[in-house]
Amino acid sequence: MEQAVQMIGLIVALCYILFGIDDFFWDVLNIVRKIRNGETKQLPFEELDAVPPKLLAMMVAAWREDNVIEPVIDNMLASLQYPQSMYHIFIGVYPNDEPTVSAVKRLTEKYANVHMVINCKPGPTCKADNLNNILRFIRQFEKERQWRFCSVTVHDSEDVIHPYELKLTNYLIDTHAALQFPVIPLQKMPTVKTILSDMTTGTYADEFAENHYRTMGTREAMSAVVPSAGTGFVLSRRILDDYKGQQLFPEDSLTEDYKLSLLLAKRGYPIHFVLEKVPRLMDNNTVRWDYVATRSFFPDTFETAVRQKTRWIYGITMQSVRSADILKESKMGFAARYSLYKDLKAKASNLMVLPGYLVFLYFILSLVTPLPMMYPQGSFAWGLCILLTIMMVFRQTMRAVAIANFYGLKSMIVSCLLPPLLPARLAWGNIINMTATFRAWRLYIWGSGTKRKSRKVAWSKTDHTFLQKHVLYRYYRTLGDVLLEKQYVDVVTLSQALAKSRREGVRLGETLLDNGDVTEEQLMEAVAGSQHKLFVRNLNCFGSRLAADFDRERLKTLLMYPLLRTDGAVVFAVTDRTPVDQIPEQLGIPADCCHFAYTTARNILQALDAENEEPALYQQVSGLLHSGQLTWEQAVLALNRHQAADNILVYMGLDSIRENAHEVA
């Protein structure tokens, strides 16, 4: 009996070592690499706006999302720090999903850059089919508009998108074929009352924190395969052109995102993981680092979590990764193929939870009951247990660091130290993963089999919820946030100015100007950013011919400068002191026929005193504006940034005819 018990203990310990020792060495090597190379330098956020905005597309596949799709898109349009005319949102729906169709139709009527794509098939098909259908629509949309999107970003219909996501995409997509932004599950601040009720969502928070704070960056640094998370996933124009005429998203996998990232790796397109953060000054004058990430709710019950993870495990380990991908030589190096092994082994290592916890239970019982000793002190099995303990403590420490960075110290304590040694949330997450793996194997053996692996699969989706409006305000950007992002002020200066402005009852901008902390141009640029308006730095590129149609002295008094005329409307450059409500009376122009961009008072007065010729680009842009190919906002952006690129319209994706002509030449 004693020998049998010890043999069982030895086998279990060996299996745990076999499945975990490579992860341990991988992490140690990465720590050594970081120590040698130093910390990765953060992106220069103050330089992001120096890159002219390119035309970007976003795709959202929707099936029975009528309860969340409207507030999601409303929040997206209200919070994104990117010119609204330079990104378009394409929402894929099904003809037999009338509630969602109606909700998206309302959005298209409200926003000019939101478009509904109705699938030719009744739903649900699969998410990949929905996305492929959206891509076909986008290609036709480009032909009709003579535009060319620089990238497409995949998002889910319940995502809270970070305000700076598109700005970072615009900055990075010229040098990277694909981008993956972190995904941070939303969870409530843990309390004693909610520890048990939030246990399931907490397991998602822990796993995503570990994977997206540490593992994904490690994979990229080691030239391994960085998998797509299915949301916050950006594909560059290079990939779209490479797949032209081909199906991009694999329709034979429940995890089309993961399989696509594997196919891209085989084609030599690595995915860049974007782990960047910006400072925010909170109401209590403390600084919080805010990660540029996608946030959303995840399942909060055992059954829904198991169902979702069954789909993930089945799709990744049984439909996407094959042994041949690991063993055969290919364009992928050793590290890339090894990372696939790490993913593939989950369908076996997750099952080790059952014997492992049974052994642990036996150990606990042996402390109070005269049972045969499973791991005699000094034995080989006892040595393995010591090694396993070291590995477990090391892994928990690494997880604790990741959770503390994403969620804070309180969440880390609840996750990793309640109770110590074997935290309840870790155990619960392991049980969920084990149950999901058993179901995935059952689906593979009895539910699908090898003959059906290549068939298109049905969309197995999770029901979604969304945040309330008052909570979403936390994700919006204030004037202070924009000033910090651009590094026009530091945290101490901003904190002092906020305190003074509150004490004296004046606006923050006025306080900063009076103190000499910012220039007028810096302040107006930040004001424009916080209000989602354009900032025009150089008025000379618009010429002064249009200004001759107005009384210049009156324009000086009002602090206004006319930039463009389009469809009976006029685009003006103004300041935050311009009395825009007086325009109908002062200039005889209806309020609904005026569009505004911000600039400085100094720029307006200098431009009104000068006589500037219209540059050649002005005539071209005006022609495209009147033909309907450009919006007024796109026209202003192109003229304001024309010195940043040789052919600014082509660079921004607003003139595909010239780009194609250039390629032919």
Is 296 a member of any domain?
yes
Domain endpoint, select from 496, 530, 564: 530
pLDDT at 454: 44
Domain count, the chain: 3
pLDDT at 27: 86
Is 59 a member of any domain?
no
Indicate whether 255 and 216 sit together in one domain: yes
**Burial bucket for residue 152 (CB in 10 Å: 0-12, 13-18, 19+):** buried
**Per-residue pLDDT for 548 more than 70?**
yes
pLDDT tens figures, 71-116: 999 999 999 999 999 999 999 999 999 999 999 999 999 999 999 9
pLDDT at 280: 86
Query: What are the Cα distances from residue 42, in Å, to 29, 45, 171, 192, 453?
Result: 22, 8, 13, 36, 43
- Selection from 46, 257, 340, 54 nearest residue 175 by Cα: 54
Q: What is the dihedral of CA 119, 123, 127, 131, to 10 degrees?
A: 0
Indicate whether 345 and 235 sit together in one domain: yes
Tokens of 444: 């593979």
Indicate whether 558 and 521 sit together in one domain: no
Q: Report residue 28's pLDDT band, with 50, 70 and 90 as the boundaries.
A: confident
pLDDT at 534: 95
Indicate whether 510 and 561 sit together in one domain: no
Average pLDDT over residues 520-548: 92
pLDDT at 251: 92
Is 565 a member of any domain?
yes
Angle at 220 between CA 219 and CA 225, to 5 degrees: 65
pLDDT tens figures, 580-601: 999 888 898 998 899 999 999 9
Indicate whether 493 and 616 sit together in one domain: no
Tokens of 639: 């003229």
Indicate whether 497 and 604 sit together in one domain: no
Q: Which residue has the tokens 């109070």?
A: 368
pLDDT at 457: 56
What mean pLDDT is reported for the chain?
A: 90
pLDDT tens figures, 113-135: 999 999 999 989 999 999 999 99
pLDDT tens figures, 45-80: 888 988 999 999 999 999 999 999 999 999 999 999
pLDDT at 660: 62
User: Range of 507's domain?
Assistant: 477-530
Do residues 651 and 54 touch, judged by C-beta distance below 8 A? yes
Indicate whether 485 and 609 sit together in one domain: no
pLDDT at 612: 78
Do residues 236 and 177 touch, judged by C-beta distance below 8 A? yes
Do residues 85 and 654 touch, judged by C-beta distance below 8 A? no
Query: What are the Cα distances from residue 425, in Å, to 199, 392, 462?
Result: 6, 15, 22
pLDDT at 463: 63
Q: Report residue 32's pLDDT band, with 50, 70 and 90 as the boundaries.
A: confident
**Burial bucket for residue 593 (CB in 10 Å: 0-12, 13-18, 19+):** middle
Is 135 a member of any domain?
no
pLDDT at 544: 85
Indicate whether 656 and 523 sit together in one domain: no
**Per-residue pLDDT for 475 more than 90?**
no
Lowest-confidence region among 264-278, 297-311, 447-461, 506-520: 447-461
Report the C-alpha gap between 314 and 310 in whole angstroms: 6
Based on its alpha-carbon atoms, the radius of gyration of the chain, rounded to whole angstroms, reads 28
Is 68 a member of any domain?
no
**pLDDT above 70 covers what percent of the chain?**
95
Do residues 326 and 340 touch, judged by C-beta distance below 8 A? yes
Angle at 104 between CA 103 and CA 106, to 5 degrees: 70
Do residues 547 and 570 touch, judged by C-beta distance below 8 A? no
Domain endpoint, select from 350, 384, 419: 350
Report the C-alpha gap between 356 and 284 in whole angstroms: 46
Report the C-alpha gap between 575 and 557 in whole angstroms: 12
pLDDT tens figures, 1-24: 788 888 998 999 999 999 999 889
- If one compares 151 and 325, the residue with the highest pLDDT of the two is 151
Indicate whether 186 and 299 sit together in one domain: yes
* Total residue length of the chain: 665
Indicate whether 526 and 548 sit together in one domain: no
Indicate whether 202 and 317 sit together in one domain: yes
Report the C-alpha gap between 260 and 253 in whole angstroms: 10
Query: What are the Cα distances from residue 37, in Å, to 31, 40, 69, 217, 221?
Result: 10, 8, 44, 14, 11
- Selection from 113, 68, 60 nearest residue 88 by Cα: 113
Report the C-alpha gap between 262 and 256 in whole angstroms: 10
Q: Which residue has the tokens 């060996």?
A: 14
Alpha helices, DSSP H, located in 531-655: 552-558, 583-587, 601-609, 616-627, 632-640, 648-652
pTM strictly above 0.75? yes
Report the C-alpha gap between 219 and 233 in whole angstroms: 16
Tokens of 356: 């492992």
**Per-residue pLDDT for 400 more than 60?**
yes
Residue 254, CA atoms < 13 Å, CB-side half-sphere: 24
pLDDT at 453: 46
Is 303 a member of any domain?
yes
Name the residue type at position 629. Answer: Q
pLDDT at 651: 94
Is 629 a member of any domain?
yes
Helix 632-640 and helix 616-627, axial crossing angle in degrees, nearest 10 = 170
The three-class DSSP label of residue 311 is helix
Indicate whether 280 and 196 sit together in one domain: yes
pLDDT at 161: 95
pLDDT tens figures, 416-460: 999 887 899 999 999 999 999 999 999 999 875 444 444 455 666
**Per-residue pLDDT for 659 more than 60?**
yes
Is 305 a member of any domain?
yes
